[in-house]
Structure 1
Amino acid sequence: MHALSNADLHCHSKVSDGTLEPEAVATRAHANGVELWALTDHDEVGGQARALAAAGRLGMHYLTGCEISVTFAGRVVHIVGLGFDHEDAALVQGLRETRGGRGERAREMAEGLAKVGIKDAYEGALKYVGNPELISRTHFARFLVDAGHCQDVPDVFRRFLTEGKPGFVPHRWARLADAVRWVTQAGGVAVIAHPGRYDFTPTEEYALITEFMAHGGRGIEVVTGSHTAAEAAKYTETALEFGLLASRGSDFHSPDESHTDLGKLPALSGRLTPVWDALRERIIPPPH
């Protein structure tokens, strides 16, 4: 297999909180020159068979993927799993339990919004959901924008859906140890997603990385849609310091909302070991 220079290993479809079906995400990735692709829906592997089939039809190499929500140091951190068996029973069950709290949380969010005069937000948000088990703040945000309550999605989060605001309800996610174990025991590699987004102190970030590695985590996203060039440079050094594999992914959700389109990221530094090098045996090539 030749070197896969354009890998996009972090994106979402309608199976979680993206706006496109898995096949449409695959088509967009291929059109943008992606050679190695992974669909990484939140806490859900239900789109994997469709994504794999679409990648094969388009001639792309494929890695199974998922983005798992965990609670660490009182904050939500995301762990991307890559190259695992997407039918592994422990992984599938763990993700099902992680998703389980979302419906109840969504109803509580709607109650909070009703108290400030925004009625029927739960029903409104449901219209934007591909998978009702995965109703999230993003779906509420799309409803509030389209219903004219807010100018755009960031406006919604600022006014209604962050801590201390009327529609904010915390969710208890998976534990870091569990998420890493589900991925690794299913044959994959666990990766810390977009580390620049968590606003951790250096001490907290060190704790996250060392605990993650202690549980068997092996990778970190260096180049991703929400990272600035300075953050990509910083996490290049972090990956080298800790001996972590480097990942690259746009975190694409929607043509209208995402910072960065599929396949349009800068390259990883040549000093790094790409995560796909460690997953060579797990990459599914297109059928000949």
Structure 2
Amino acid sequence: MNIDFHCHTTASDGTLDPAALINLAREREIDMLSITDHDTLAAYSTLGDIEPGLRIIPGIELSSQWNRRGVHIVGLNVELHSNSIVEAVTKQSKAREGRGEIIAERLSRLGFADCLEGAKSFSNGPQVGRPHFAQHLVAIGAVSNIQQAFKRYLGAGKVGDVKDQWADLKTVIDWIRDAGGVAVLAHPTKYKLTRSKLIELITAFKAAGGEAMEVISGSQVPSVTRDMARLCRDSGLEASCGSDFHSLNQPWASLGHVAPLPEDCTPIWNRWQ
């Protein structure tokens, strides 16, 4: 089966609107898909009249913090209209708005004026995220490309890395579980943690009620997949996978182009087959 349980649309920081994403998923013969926009379910409100031609598992990617680090948690099979998920989206939206203002203020101290307005001009929806600030910095000539914007100003540990607006790990997992969903630790290798810290995160995640982790996120070398599969199995978690698709010009995160899970993993999608 072709499974992609992590992708983004223009409802957050993706470049395809929900209908275009569904069309691409059809073209790439994806069997099961979850749209997991950052801290919003807005994409699903536009899909009512679309015949997807594939199984859609309602999802969301919620921002959290753990030990003063930003950690993303994917919620799969959430009830879209539950009180819990409505509360989560409302609170996260306010946090994201405040975060954008802080990022803009910090960048202004470096001499980059009107960054919030500039970032909003690149957003196709109400959300403003770091990729939109990156696009603005490219547009004004502050950096040559988006990767450079993150390396200099927006990436982990940089001036635009604002984490303390988010709810804690346990609160986010509770929101997902109370909405009938499954909490999945997103892209664990992207946090650049030491081995001991990664194990500490996975342990804390499971203790808080997390049930699965992404063994595969986008394009990754087989040795990393085997390692993540081992950690997943040893932690007693189910396994998920996703491209983390945002844009057609990012071949390392291509919708539906996700390697098969190792055979010793328990796929999360077994729950919905």
Calculate the TM-score normalised by the size of structure 1: 0.88
1:13 — aligned with what? 9
1:29 — aligned with what? 25
1:219 — aligned with what? 212
Task: Determine which of 199, 203, 217 is the counterpart of 2:196.
Answer: 203
Decide whether the 8 Å contact of 1:81 with 1:191 is kept in 2.
Answer: yes
> What 5-or-longer segments of structure 2 have no aligned partner?
none
CA distance in 2, matches of 1:227, 1:172: 30
Calculate the TM-score normalised by the size of structure 2: 0.93
For residue 64 of structure 2, what is the amino acid of its counterpart?
Answer: V
2:134 — aligned with what? 141
SS in 2 for 1:135: coil
The reply on whether 1:246 has 2:239 as its aligned counterpart is: yes
1:232 — aligned with what? 225
CA distance in 2, matches of 1:66, 1:135: 16
**Which digits, 9 at most, give the CA deviation of each residue in 1:92-128, with x for residues without a partner?**
1122112212223322322332333322211111011
SS in 2 for 1:47: helix
**Which digits, 9 at most, give the CA deviation of each residue in 1:246-276, with x for residues without a partner?**
1010000111246221011111112211101
CA distance in 2, matches of 1:258, 1:73: 32
1:80 — aligned with what? 74
Worse overlay, 13-22 or 219-228: 219-228
**Which digits, 9 at most, give the CA deviation of each residue in 1:23-44, with x for residues without a partner?**
1111112211211000000111
For residue 111 of structure 1, what is the amino acid of its counterpart?
Answer: E
Structure 1 residue ranges (4+ consecutive) displaced by more than 3 angstroms after TM superposition: 51-54, 162-171
The reply on whether 1:184 has 2:177 as its aligned counterpart is: yes
Q: Could you tell me how far 1:52 is from its partner in structure 2?
A: 6.4
Q: Could you tell me how far 1:165 is from its partner in structure 2?
A: 4.4
SS in 1 for 2:253: coil
> What 5-or-longer segments of structure 1 have no aligned partner?
281-288
The reply on whether 1:261 has 2:248 as its aligned counterpart is: no
CA distance in 2, matches of 1:252, 1:34: 13
Count of equivalent residues: 273
The reply on whether 1:153 has 2:149 as its aligned counterpart is: no
Decide whether the 8 Å contact of 2:6 with 2:243 is kept in 1.
Answer: yes
The reply on whether 1:275 has 2:271 as its aligned counterpart is: no
Q: How much identity, in percent, do the aligned residues show?
A: 35
